[in-house]
Copies of this chain bind each other. A is one copy, B any other.
């Protein structure tokens, strides 16, 4: 199981190390990556492990975060509703979405019991459709939750119906592996990048599992369609690429390249190769590294 908890601390390296420490020392848990951003004032941890030890390490790290983070004085560019802002569980190997959902509920209940923090289940763990989208759950942020949490439709799934004074609230849920995928355009025109982004994304009538926005790459003098592929097994990377390519054509603009940010499951690469090479009957079981891992 993979877990990518987001903590609202991106500046104090000492606090960051303390939050990360439980993952580092846990057995049967592997800290794959952690990166903090000072502007966002946020820490994103990527960790994998067996469900039980992962849960234990996570609860310990959350305890540290609750102790060292005070949201009343927290400022940053990224929206947040809690010291531990969001805890997504992602099934990556020999485990199912249902197991990820179960684990998210166990962890959610435990966060509420142990630390008195209200917990919202989101995405695949959500208990109502209006709670699926993390942006909708988080709307209002820490500052607005004192009021929001009183509304009947925003009662938390676990814990008290009033937010923790310094740690706010937390969203916990299971989701598919998300691939952060950006496609660069040979135009500095943000209107074009945004128009293409709107056209390819789900809410604009585009691809089912695709979120997108236009972004300016100032130093390079170009723009980018910045994409989150929320389920690459059903909306494929190549579909985003080919759709951006043909939408760009309308403006006389070309794709100059793309980038995958952070980690990506091997299955997404296999899928991309299968499309572009027209591979027949290829399976990721043929990848040497996968066989060795098994």
Contacts and interface: CB of A to CB of B under 8 A. Distances in A.
Nearest to A276: B276
A135 interface: no
Interface of A: 2, 30, 32-33, 48, 92-93, 177, 184, 237-238, 241, 255-260, 262-266, 269-270, 272-273, 276-282, 286-293
- The residue in A32, A277, A278 that gathers the most chain B C-beta atoms within 10 A of its C-beta is A277
B273 A269 contact: yes
Contact of A279 (B92, B260, B263, B270): B260
Contact of A258 (B93, B277, B287): B277
Q: How many copies does the complex hold?
A: 2
Given A237-B277, A258-B278, A278-B256, A289 B288 contact: no
Given A255-B278, A277-B258, A280-B259, A265 B293 contact: no
Nearest to A270: B269
B289 A290 contact: yes
Contact of A280 (B2, B257, B265, B280): B257
A84 B155 CA distance: 71
A53 to B, nearest CB: 15
Given A264-B288, A276-B276, 16 more contacts: A33-B291, A48-B288, A48-B292, A93-B289, A237-B277, A238-B276, A257-B280, A259-B282, A260-B286, A262-B286, A263-B287, A264-B286, A269-B287, A273-B273, A273-B276, A293-B293
